[in-house]
Structure 1
Amino acid sequence: MSYLLRCITCGEEYEPTETRYTCDKCGDLYGTLEVIYDYENIKIEKEFEPKGSIFQFKDLIPATSHTPIDQSIGGTPLYKFKGLLGFDELMIKFDGISFSSSYKDRASIIAVNKAIECGADTIYCASTGNAASSLALTAAGTALRTVIFVPSTIPKGKLTQLLVAGAEVIPINSTYDEVFSLSLRVGRKKGWYCRNSAINPYLLEGKKTGAYEILIQNDYKVPDYCFVGVGDGTVISGICKGFKEFYDLGLVDSVPIVIGVQSEKAATIKHVFDKGKPYTPIIEPANSVADSISVGNPRDVIKACKYVESTGGHFISVRDDEIIDSIKEMSRSTGIFSEPAGAAPYAGVKKMIRSGELKRTDSVCIVVTGNGLKDTDAVRSGVEVKTYDIDEAEALFL
C-alpha cells in the first residue's frame, strides 16, 4: 500500500518510518500526524462484508495481519430501534461486544501488527483502562512484551483484564495526563513501540473502521447525525476520517454531521473548539465518572476540532448524572449495557432533543464504545437490590 504522514498543523509530509510518530516542527501536541493514502489510485467497490474484520479494508489500513485474532476485530453490530427517544429509527453501533469489550481493539490490533512488522520486542501505552485492557488482550497471543501505565483509580474490571492477560501493569497515584507523559518518557528512552493515542498516527486508522461499518451495515445510507463520546479526541477523529474517506472514494454521497459529547467535568476539547480558530490546546482539571473520556490534556485536540468542523458538527457537554441515567435508560429500552463513556452520546442526543436541534425524522447513529461490565461501580450505587426470604419471595407471586 502507498501512504505518507502529514502534520495536522503545518502540513509537513513525512515518509513513514518505524520511529516517526509526530511532526519535528510542531511537536507532540500540535504535530499529530494524518495517514494520507494515494486515494486517486485506490479502486474500491461496495463488496465489504457487514460482519467482516477491519482487515477487509486492506487498501485503507497501514498494517497487514500477523496475529491469530485479527479476523475477530471489527464487524460489531449496528442495531436499529424504531421509536427510541421518539425517532422514526435510532441506530446504535455497539463495540461493547468486541474482543476486549471496547472500541479500542480497532486501534490496538493495528499497533500490535505494526510492532510485529518493525521487529519490536516491547509495546507500551498509558490508559485509563480500555486502551490498556485492549492492548493487553490483543498482544497476549504474540511474543511482544506489554508494559502498561495506568492511574491507580482504574476500574477493577479493566484492571482485572490487564492482570489476567499477563501484562506488566504499573498503577500510578496520579492523573491520566501525568501518567501519559511519564509513559512517553520511559517508552522513548527504552525504544519501545508506542500504542499511545494521538502520538501513534496509525491508531486512528483502526478507529476509523467503525465509520466504514456504520455505512456498510446501513446499506450505504448516510445518517444525518453521528454522536461520539470524546476524551483524547482520537476516536471521534477516526470516525470523521472514516466517513470522509468513503465519501472521497465515491462510496457514499455525503458525510454525517458528527457531534462530540463530553462530560461537563472533562470538556476540554469542547472549550477549545468553542473558542474558535486557531485551535489552541489548553489543560484543565478532569474528574468525570466516565473515566474513559476523563481527559484534561487531550492529545488529539487539534485533529478532533478540525475533523469535526469539516463535517459541520460541534461539541456538547452533559452532566455526569445524565450519563449515569443514560446507562440505565439505554439498558432498559434496548438491552445494551454501556460503560459511562459509551452512554455519553445517548445523553447528548437527549440534550439536543430538548434544545430542538434534532427532529423525529432525523437519522441518528450513536457510537457506544465500551461494555458496562467494565465499570459496574459507576451505576451500582443507583441500583437498589432488596433480598427476600424464601417465603417472602413466594408470596410476591403466589
Structure 2
Amino acid sequence: MEEQNHLLKWLDHLYQLSPPTGVMCVGAGNGDSGWVDRLQTWDAQNVTLVEADETQFTRLEKNPVVSQLWQLRNEVVAERSESVLYHQATLASESGLVDPESLQTVWPNIRVKYRKNRQALALAELLSDSPSNWLWIDCLPALNLLRGAGDALLGVDLVMARILLNPPEVLAELGLSSLQAFLEARGLRRLCIEESRNPGIGLVLFTRDTQFVIKSLHHKVGHLESQLQHAIEVKEWVEATSQQQQQQILQLETRLKETADKAIDAKCRHKDLLMRAEHAECLVSEQASKLDSTRERLDKMYAEHDSLVQSQQELQTELTQLRAEREQTQQALLQQSTLLASIQEEHIQRLDEVIAQSEKLKGLLSEGGVENNRVRQALHKKAVELRTAQARSDQLEENLHQQQHINKQLTVEITRAQAQIDLIEGLEITDQRPL
C-alpha cells in the first residue's frame, strides 16, 4: 500500500505537468473532502461537481470552498439514462445505486433509510454537456458509471475512482480487478492506489498510458499511410482516367452540339407542327360549327318532316272526308238531275196541256163571248201557274249549277291534296333520317 496522501502528491505533479482542460467529480458530497480543497488550491476553472443526495447537494452549494465559477449538478449518474432505484443510507456518503446493506462488511452498522426510483443520467451525457479530461468517481459502483461514458472515455486522460479493497465475490465489480481491466483496454494505466479512512475502501488513480497512445498513434499513422497510399493510387487512377474522360467530354460536347442542333431543328419543326395544329384546330372548330349548324338544320328538317307527316295524315283524313263529301254531292246532284228532268217533263206536259187548252179556248171564244171573261181568268191562272213552274225550274237549274260548281271545287281540292300527299311520300323516300 502506498503511503498516506501519496495520491494527492501524484495529482499535484500531474496538474503541474499537464493542467486539465476540465475536471468532473461524481459523488462530490458536501464539498468537505480533500479533493474539492485541492481544486480550490489549483484555482481550477472548468470544474463540474455532481452529487445525487439532495441534503448533501444543499450543503455543497453553501460550502465557501466551492468557487462561483464551478458548475454544480444535483443528478443521479448511472450506466444508462433511465429510471433507477436509489438507496438512501444512514451514512450519507454511501447513498447511491449500491444497496447499503451489501456494504456491511466494510460498514457494519450501515442501514437503508428508504429507497425510491429516480431518473438517472449516463456519464456520456454529462461529459457532452461539460467536457472534461479529468474524471473523479468518488462513489460506488465506479465501473458501471464509467461504462456509461462510452466513447467519451477515450478523451479522458485521468481517472480517479472509488473501489472496495478485497471485496467479496458477489461484489467483485466494485473491486480493482474489473475496473483495471476495463480501463487498461481503453488506454488508461494504473498509477497508484491508496486506502481511505476505512481500510475496506480505497481510491485508485489511472492516467493515460503513453505507450498505448503511441501504439494507437502508430496504428493511426499506419492506417493514415494506408489511406494515403490508397489516395495516391486513386489519384493516379484519376489522372489516368482524366484524359479518357477529357476525350469523352470532348466527344460528348460534339454530340451535345449535334444534339442541340437537332433539338433546334426539332424545335422549329415542333413550332411548325404547332402552327399546323392550331390551323387544323381552327378548321376543326369551323367544321364543328358547320356540323352544329347542319345538325340544327337537320333537326329543323326533321321537325318539318314530322310536321309534314302530321300534315299528310291530316290531309289524308281531309281527303277521305272530301271524297266522301264528293260522293254525297254526286249522289245529291244525280238525285237533283233526276228530279229536274222529271220536273221538266212535268212542265212540258203541263205546257202542252196549256197550249191545248188555249187552242180550245180560242175556239170557244169564237162560239160565244159569254164565257170570254171566265176563259181569260182561266188563262191568266194557267199563265201564273206556268210562270211559277218556270221559276221553280229556273231555281232548280241554278241549284244544279251551284252543285256542279261545288263538285268542281271539291275535285280541285282533292287533286291538290293528292299532289301534296305524293310530295310528302316522295320526301319520305329521298330524305331518310340517319342512325
TM-score bracket for this pair, using the shorter chain length: under 0.3
Q: TM-score, normalised by structure 2?
A: 0.19
Structure exhibiting the larger radius of gyration computed from Cα positions: 2
Q: TM-score, normalised by structure 1?
A: 0.21
The structure richer in helix per residue is 2
Instruction: Indicate the structure whose relative CO is greater, using CA pairs within 8 Å and at least 6 residues apart.
Output: 1
